[in-house]
Structure 1
């Protein structure tokens, strides 16, 4: 079924085919991502107005929206221009006023003639002890009272679109909703007490109480589950495709690994050993490995990655490790070199800087198999890069690297295993949504010898004390980072620039003791400043956030972050992780400008109170929402209309299990439920997933 199923055609028709939607309204609706009847169907009301008929406004808890039948009394004209036009009315028990501003006299006399009966509905409030309904929402003849809904759904709006238009369009979209075969596992559906799809859509658009608007209301929960299921099916299909792709069995001999372990100054943590074993088991299988290695700052990912690369080399093949930037690629190279030397393995780097003869020579060596491990930037993707026998591709820092690139990297080595590393701890719900197609290994222990970092909050008014503290530390031979938020003085923002701070600290600590690195510097200058700090020639490195990835300086034990309150939590956590890498006790000073906003304070206190990156990520997710956490534009996160990833993580987990089980039982989606699931994928516009189902 590679074409959209016919029952869904009406939902994918032109939006203007909906009642009351012309070219102008269509343009407005596009502003809130409603381009076709299907989108209208999944745009659910966020509130509900109770418009059930009452006998009288008397006894109601005001202000409230009320619907009553009234007898129209006298009209009272406004005393001044633009004043209130009042109409006295009587319901079964009491009198009140209908009030209009800027009203046309003849229009009001026509719709509300004195002496007639009308049913009115609107918000009633008390003004000076008199009940008033200002601009009623509905005024109808008693015989037409059925036109006023007992419960009126309230839809999200955009400029130029009214509630009436939205309600009409939603009704019209509902009339086209077809009856569809069930794609949810019958046991799951019965256990959760969910309605059928058609019934669920109808109910979600017709709430009769606030309880019906809750995410846990059966109709809404079912529609949220459908979105999760479609998304997880797409990921599971991508995973199955990677799995089905014949892998190569890579069995390590353990010889090279043993050499590395002998030369290590410490023993790997339990978490590292577990991760290495999981990876080795995957690499030994005939299917392709597709695994995520998640580890907090300083959890020892480099060692795990290198052991995995050695398995590829021991099996007679090659490995490649890819980083998003050149500075990171070089950092990896520096981290791997000593390990490679102890194993006697050839490691080389390939970046955009390699040109001409040098590049040619590297490519030839790679193709001959003389280079066993290649480290590089996305330059390793280029057409002319050929491996002798690529067994393992390791990709660093996932966010910048989606499913598509993972498949592409795999093409370089037929059946190469893929390991993705990220240093950003990801809360479980996000990991499920973003990496649902991967198996996950987590490094949740710090290697021995990593010192806990003492974190303190200091107000900027105590700047002089901080500089004094630094002077003493530097005299004892310690090194420090000083992170500034911006590069040059910008008048609009009251932030200390790195240039200014650099001059200030140089004056306080002595000429040659302070280095400077910022984004605007030419790369060579930047590298020189970093290198001087690494060698210990400078004691303090003033920097903008360019250091959050990059240099490892074990002797650096102090991290000062100026105006810490304007940084994100994840960024602060990454910056702090630059210290505490050696044997000395480390401190991180969060300098803030008082008064702190509530969210600023929560970020800084969270950081002060815990070093657990996963806990920090959870708080970050609560505070910022999923899209922001990984940058919505490139996050590859699905945009759900009904489901809420952060608050329905448990539902998402059920959907993942369900999707994987369905594909295990029915890989081609050919059974009755499988065919229904294909319709769900079309309905949720997961067309790419449909293409992943192998043909035949």
Structure 2
């Protein structure tokens, strides 16, 4: 269907340099193809993600060569890193006697002395290309490290750029003293060629050509230059301070654009009508608090007050509750649910797995006691019911629970994705609690919220602590409550890294398991795979990839590139380990159970119940037990092949032990080499049980793209300069500024360049990333 004359096409360039069609009627020159010489060069640029001129301008240098002091050839010495202004005296192609590989040998001079150059190439075509550039008389800037060959100094494989004719020499000499940007390059397209093409695009631009998403009043208040000035600072710096200034400006812009969209979404949510759910005297919440056998921690009291105040308002609460493993998030969430029930509403809790959903139901019913038996014999007169809905339920049980949810008899409904299906209805849904929010997409959350008459209140919980700076970026729409204290009565956990190739350590590991079981404890044994024949290194229970250590990933990548099949890594598997341990005398004849994601819901429930009762005091499992499984008698955990797990996942696994009066011990069996990233992760875990500190370490060890999700990795719209781990102050300022604009106009109508930049980033795949907040 043809587009109507008045229709507005969304910008699609991936750079953030977006023209808003409602303002600019001419074709955006930034959307024109990159000015490559031919189709082959266009393909080379495309391999770097560069298709348009705008893409080229955000292909930032990854480092800068130091040319503040141009070296005199007479002062050269072996091992010296130099930058030379010199003319080409001659160049020729030669071939290696043994392999026949071509190389270019050239001589350059500063007018007094000469120096040899050698450039090794993969084929004669590349060598011929270099010969064309190194024509006699050309003036160039040559940089690299001086070495010696056959007793003569030479510059091997230099980074060089041809500066121009004799008429341009004065300007060339001036520019030669500037820092030299070095760009990510590809085969047949080197850094200097990228730089030359980029200058053709950048040099003629004016301020009108580069819309700035940061409004002038904010730039002035923050002491920031324009976007064009920042691009010139990073691509054509005259000194190091230019680079720092340009990067700081672009860093702020990245934070500002992201925070503007988060603020806009937050404002939209705040405009929705919601039902106020204030506390009620003499209700379920008061009765629950009275029966609690322990005192709430200060963090639980504060978080409860923040949530209670939000629920009492007639606009939807949007709050993140994050806490240390075992910090009591379930109690805080339950108190919020009871406040909503007291006000006539219902609460629903969405969990990522059926095991976790069933565990939540058991926990809630235990905490509530007779308060969870409303309308039943022996139940409280003011009580309610807790219903469970999962895909693995039988028809009769499911029908009963569906009726309880629809009639309102079940004030609390817990379930998995089954809650999203159309048969599930509620009498008056007032609060949605999403456990482990990152497991769910925006469509799934929306399907659940749509089951309420008015916009329900939303409480997101996560047992994976993240630093506040990251939370402000990833969960920018939500207010944040933190639980850092662990309730009293919990014992500590000691963690040790066990080298898999040490027979003595491994023997002691299994003997320790036997000792703990003999004392009445329970032992988890965690494996990365279910079956020994499984090749995939994946977490089949939750969908999170296990990942190779950087060193291992490099080895696999090299093997793949060479055409070889990556070596099969001997990871231990559940079905294998179960059989081995059942025959291991060191366990003293203890029964060994099994739990993994291919089992039915009933089988999983039975496995956990047998483990908790002591019928099978040793449980061999995948990471299906990562969150939610609460067995106070569990005192020991052995994680096999711990080096393939992430740090936060290991911390969650460790949180399954030491939840009672007895101390816990976690044994991380690893085959990672000393000094590897995997070993650093394990050593960090052994050094502390502070989840927030571990989150900080984890983020330092990982790529920034991993922090923000797949949509942030390897894209033009990805964060290039902003580091959410360390740039908290920048994020704070950007959020304040962005919220000010959104308060003035939630749709950002006066700032088309900012709206264009947001649309551009969302079109690049960040919509789903933001939706997960």
**Corresponding residue number in structure 2 for 1:338:** 366
**Corresponding residue number in structure 1 for 2:728:** 649
Q: Secondary structure at the match of 1:167?
A: helix
**Corresponding residue number in structure 2 for 1:264:** 292
- Pair 1:469-2:512 in alignment: yes
- Cα deviations across residues 241-291 of structure 1 (Å, max 9, x unaligned)? 111111111112142112112222101111111111111110111111111
**Corresponding residue number in structure 2 for 1:5:** 20
**CA, structure 1 residues 2+269, in 2 after alignment: closer, same or farther (shift >3 Å)?**
farther
Distance 2:296 2:107 in 1: 84
**Corresponding residue number in structure 2 for 1:229:** 256
Distance 1:316 1:415 in 2: 15
With 310-319 and 461-470 compared, the bigger mean Cα shift is at: 461-470
**Corresponding residue number in structure 2 for 1:534:** 612
- Cα deviations across residues 48-68 of structure 1 (Å, max 9, x unaligned)? 456799695222564423112
- Cα deviations across residues 387-429 of structure 1 (Å, max 9, x unaligned)? 2111111111011234554444322212211111111101223
Instruction: Report if aligned partners of 1:620, 1:629 keep a CA contact under 8 Å in 2.
Output: no
With 127-136 and 535-544 compared, the bigger mean Cα shift is at: 127-136
Structure 2 unmatched ranges of 5 or more: 1-7, 11-18, 372-382, 534-566, 768-773
Distance 2:365 2:665 in 1: 29
Distance 1:547 1:293 in 2: 21
Q: Could you tell me which of 227, 244, 250 is aligned with 2:271?
A: 244
Q: Secondary structure at the match of 1:473?
A: helix
Shift of 1:555: 1.0
Shift of 1:330: 0.9
Q: Secondary structure at the match of 2:719?
A: coil
- Pair 1:94-2:171 in alignment: no
Distance 2:96 2:766 in 1: 67
Distance 1:157 1:664 in 2: 43
**Corresponding residue number in structure 1 for 2:525:** 482
- Pair 1:286-2:314 in alignment: yes
Q: Could you tell me which of 642, 653, 661 is aligned with 1:575?
A: 653
**CA, structure 1 residues 235+407, in 2 after alignment: closer, same or farther (shift >3 Å)?**
farther
Q: Could you tell me which of 326, 349, 361 is aligned with 1:321?
A: 349
Q: Could you tell me which of 69, 74, 95 is aligned with 1:58?
A: 74
Shift of 1:206: 0.7
Q: Secondary structure at the match of 2:73?
A: coil
- Pair 1:459-2:459 in alignment: no
TM-score by length of 2: 0.79
Distance 2:187 2:104 in 1: 28
Structure 1 unmatched ranges of 5 or more: 691-696
**CA, structure 1 residues 532+630, in 2 after alignment: closer, same or farther (shift >3 Å)?**
farther
- Pair 1:605-2:683 in alignment: yes
Matching of residues 607-622 of structure 1 within 5 Å:
607-622=685-700
- Cα deviations across residues 280-336 of structure 1 (Å, max 9, x unaligned)? 110111111111111121111111111111111100111111111211111111111
RMSD across aligned positions (CA)? 3.8
Matched residues, number: 682
**CA, structure 1 residues 386+143, in 2 after alignment: closer, same or farther (shift >3 Å)?**
same
With 637-646 and 52-61 compared, the bigger mean Cα shift is at: 52-61
With 44-53 and 648-657 compared, the bigger mean Cα shift is at: 44-53
Q: Could you tell me which of 627, 641, 644 is aligned with 2:705?
A: 627
Distance 2:431 2:760 in 1: 37
Instruction: Report if aligned partners of 1:269, 1:445 keep a CA contact under 8 Å in 2.
Output: yes
With 181-190 and 124-133 compared, the bigger mean Cα shift is at: 181-190
Shift of 1:522: 4.8
- Pair 1:505-2:581 in alignment: yes
**CA, structure 1 residues 287+56, in 2 after alignment: closer, same or farther (shift >3 Å)?**
same
**CA, structure 1 residues 284+140, in 2 after alignment: closer, same or farther (shift >3 Å)?**
closer
**CA, structure 1 residues 644+73, in 2 after alignment: closer, same or farther (shift >3 Å)?**
closer
Distance 1:386 1:110 in 2: 74
- Pair 1:416-2:456 in alignment: yes
Distance 1:88 1:584 in 2: 76
- Pair 1:198-2:228 in alignment: yes
Distance 1:276 1:481 in 2: 33
Instruction: Report if aligned partners of 1:194, 1:219 keep a CA contact under 8 Å in 2.
Output: no
Shift of 1:100: 6.8
**Corresponding residue number in structure 1 for 2:553:** none
**Corresponding residue number in structure 1 for 2:592:** 514
Instruction: Report if aligned partners of 1:479, 1:556 keep a CA contact under 8 Å in 2.
Output: yes
**CA, structure 1 residues 347+168, in 2 after alignment: closer, same or farther (shift >3 Å)?**
same
Instruction: Report if aligned partners of 2:213, 2:754 keep a CA contact under 8 Å in 1.
Output: yes
